[in-house]
Amino acid sequence: MTVINPEEPKNVFRRKAKKWVRKTCSVEVVKKRLPIISWLPKYKSEYFIQDVIAGITVGLTAIPQGIAYAVIAGLSPEYGLYASLTSGVIYVIFGSCYNVTVGPTAILAAMTAKYVVDYSADFAILTAFLSGVFMFIMGILNLGFLVEFISMPVISGFTTAAALQIAAAQLKSFFGLNGSSGNYFAESVINFVTNIGTVQLWETVLSSATIVMLILLKKMGQGCKRTDGFFKQMRWFISLSRNAVVVVIGMIIAYYIHVTLERDALAIIGDIGSGLPKFGLPPFSTVVGEQSYNFIEMVKVLGVQSIVIPFVAILETIAIAKAFAEGGRIDATQEMIAVGLCNIIGSFGQSMPITGSFTRTALNHVSGVKTPAGGVTKVLLLFVALTFLTSTFYYIPKASLAGLIITAMFSMIDYQMFGNLWRNSIKEFMLMLKTMSICLFYGLEYGIIAGILIEACLLLYNVARPTVEVNVQKSEKGDLMVVTLSENVSYCAAEHLRQRIMKGTSHDNSHVPIIVDGGNLKKLDYTAAYNLMAIIKDLDKTHQILLLNFNPELKKLCLSMETRFESKFLYAAGPQELTDIFPKDV
């Protein structure tokens, strides 16, 4: 008689717990989850200058972009700088890709805007906190593979719609119009048409000139590198800093007009809160007008945004990291943890939602950054800007920011994708158009959800309708029907399989011998196997039938339902070898 020790389950649990703790707290895991421990001891003095140059270059772009994206989100301009400041510090410690720079982006700003405009800035900060928690948990649970279910056509449709929506929302500032800028593309266009009679000359001229300057400055840097001679090096640096250059020129023009005409002929940003952000708990409750909202009510207001925004943030970060990581290899889990922490900790410092920025990451890369320490220089530049330069931002014209944003948005559109899909896959082209249309007319969050759901339905349809080839092979010894199964036949395809086989055995082929070729079949679930054997059972009454080249496991599964059909399972190089078997041996 075996005596069971009651302590044994506890001992097993204790051993497993100790093993998990040792594995989790090992030096390798700690280095993996705190990348700064790995790269900082290996830091070389020759990296310093390159990191500083890259940090300054990115910082000069991060300041005007941060202000611009805060404006897109309907926030006061300093919120964009707060987001770049706090996230920059955290990513230096936890980020796994030294090229990546994080901060506010146009898409996240656009998705946050309607809650800020309709309610308050507290909703943007809470969105950053919730997004961070969601991303952090997904990283801990290694759920990054879920992003892989969003295809390129859906992503392209979403980003194209986002670019058009953001650009349309800037038409108000671009032309100096009255009225609202709109929460989504269709509303922005309607407001533009409604208020077209209020166009302001100064705004239109300056915003148009801003776009022209950005294009010319970009071309000025072509063919120049950081390692070239002094003049080419200056052209390279000015070209890379073109966003800051056009904003400074716009400030000078606005100030000059203000002094000479003694009035503000241009709409300007105005006062920006000076100093560092106030650190404290994220707003788990707020008051908008006379209406109080507790945490649950705030989450209800955010609705699907609280889930869609972190997915978009993860998508942007991982795509950017893959594009700029060495060999395309990244630790997706660590990136989710890093960006999640950036949002969580950032929300304690009044940050709007952030993720990886493609523009600033590309700038960081071409500037020759060597380590994440380049982000330290960017943070210091933002610190100086928030502490000493906020008063100089007063005269930033909204028209200059509108021109800057519109130029950036049209670079987000993947024009080549439209042509490639049109020529090669009309189905995916229509999927992209549907995603884009819903984004434009109903909102970005609904568009990407709709795109994912449509694609999921198409994926399920393909699973439910696998390829089942039914061919009648003619030979001197008689006709032979061959039913070739695909690699995977699941339960939802069981009825489809029956219909295809029964259709093949219609009146014209009512007495033709049948071979079911399972040579390609790798997966067959219980329901599909049951249905297949039911078909064999029915056809065995009227036809001669064999099952060819089923692998042993699938054969065993089928025979567990009908053991008497074991003699029908054969192995051969092809159906042609079995022609001699019919009709005398079966």
DSSP 224-246: --TTS-HHHHHHHHHHHTHHHHH
Output the six-digit token pair for 242. Answer: 């073109």
Judged against a pLDDT cut of 70, whether residue 238 lies above it is answered with: yes
Specify the CATH number for the domain of residue 526.
3.30.750.24
Q: Are residues 58 and 125 in the same domain?
A: yes
Query: What residues are paired with 426 via a beta bridge?
Result: none
Q: Are residues 497 and 400 in the same domain?
A: no
Q: Are residues 195 and 111 in the same domain?
A: yes
SS (H, E, C) 278-304: CCCCCCCCEEECCEEECHHHHHHHHCC
Judged against a pLDDT cut of 80, whether residue 584 lies above it is answered with: no
Longest dimension (CA), the chain: 107
Question: Residue 295 CB: number of other CB atoms within 10 A?
Answer: 13
pLDDT at 172: 87
What backbone phi and psi angles, to 5 degrees, belong to 482? -115, 120
Q: Which of 111-120, 269-278, 375-384 has the lowest mean pLDDT?
A: 269-278
Instruction: Please name which of 213, 200, 197 lies closest in space to residue 174, comparing C-alpha atoms.
Output: 200
What confidence tier does 345 reach under pLDDT thresholds 50, 70, 90?
very high
pTM here is: 0.72
Q: Is residue 517 part of a domain?
A: yes
Q: Are residues 116 and 257 in the same domain?
A: yes
Judged against a pLDDT cut of 70, whether residue 12 lies above it is answered with: no
Q: Is residue 281 part of a domain?
A: yes
Q: Are residues 391 and 486 in the same domain?
A: no
Judged against a pLDDT cut of 90, whether residue 212 lies above it is answered with: yes
Structure confidence by residue, pLDDT tens digits, 159-188 = 888 888 888 888 888 998 888 777 778 888
Q: Is residue 164 part of a domain?
A: yes
What confidence tier does 211 reach under pLDDT thresholds 50, 70, 90?
very high
**Residue that is last in its domain, among 416, 433, 455:** 416
Q: Are residues 380 and 473 in the same domain?
A: no
- Dihedral sign (CA 445, 451, 454, 456): negative
Provide the 3-class DSSP secondary structure of residue 103.
Answer: strand
Q: Are residues 367 and 476 in the same domain?
A: no
Alpha-carbon distance 540 to 563, whole Å? 14
Q: Is residue 27 part of a domain?
A: no
What backbone phi and psi angles, to 5 degrees, belong to 294? -90, 180
Q: Are residues 225 and 321 in the same domain?
A: yes
Instruction: Please name which of 102, 129, 76 lies closest in space to residue 274, comparing C-alpha atoms.
Output: 76
- Report the number of distinct structural domains present in the chain: 2
Residues, the chain: 586
Query: What residues are paired with 355 via a beta bridge?
Result: 103
Q: Is residue 586 part of a domain?
A: no
Q: Is residue 449 part of a domain?
A: no
Output the six-digit token pair for 514. Answer: 């049948």
CB 156 within 8 Å of CB 434: no
**What percent of the chain shows pLDDT beyond 70?**
89
Structure confidence by residue, pLDDT tens digits, 66-118 = 888 898 888 988 898 899 888 888 999 988 888 888 999 888 888 888 888 88
H or E element that contains 355? strand 355-356
pLDDT, averaged across the chain: 82
Output the six-digit token pair for 542. Answer: 């009227």
What confidence tier does 585 reach under pLDDT thresholds 50, 70, 90?
very low
Give me the mean pLDDT over the 552-579 stretch. 80
**Residue that is last in its domain, among 395, 416, 437:** 416
**Residue that is last in its domain, among 416, 436, 451:** 416
Instruction: Please name which of 460, 521, 518, 527 lies closest in space to residue 490, comparing C-alpha atoms.
Output: 527
At residue 370, what is the residue type?
A: K
Q: Is residue 35 part of a domain?
A: no
With a CB cutoff of 8 Å and minimum separation 6, the contacts of 140 are 333, 337
Q: Are residues 374 and 501 in the same domain?
A: no
Q: Are residues 88 and 177 in the same domain?
A: yes
Judged against a pLDDT cut of 90, whether residue 342 lies above it is answered with: yes
What confidence tier does 4 reach under pLDDT thresholds 50, 70, 90?
very low
Question: Which domain, by its residues, includes 503?
Answer: 469-578
Half-sphere exposure in the Cβ direction for 355 (13 Å, CA):
24
Q: Is residue 369 part of a domain?
A: yes
Q: Are residues 492 and 374 in the same domain?
A: no
Query: What residues are paired with 140 via a beta bridge?
Result: none
Q: Are residues 473 and 412 in the same domain?
A: no
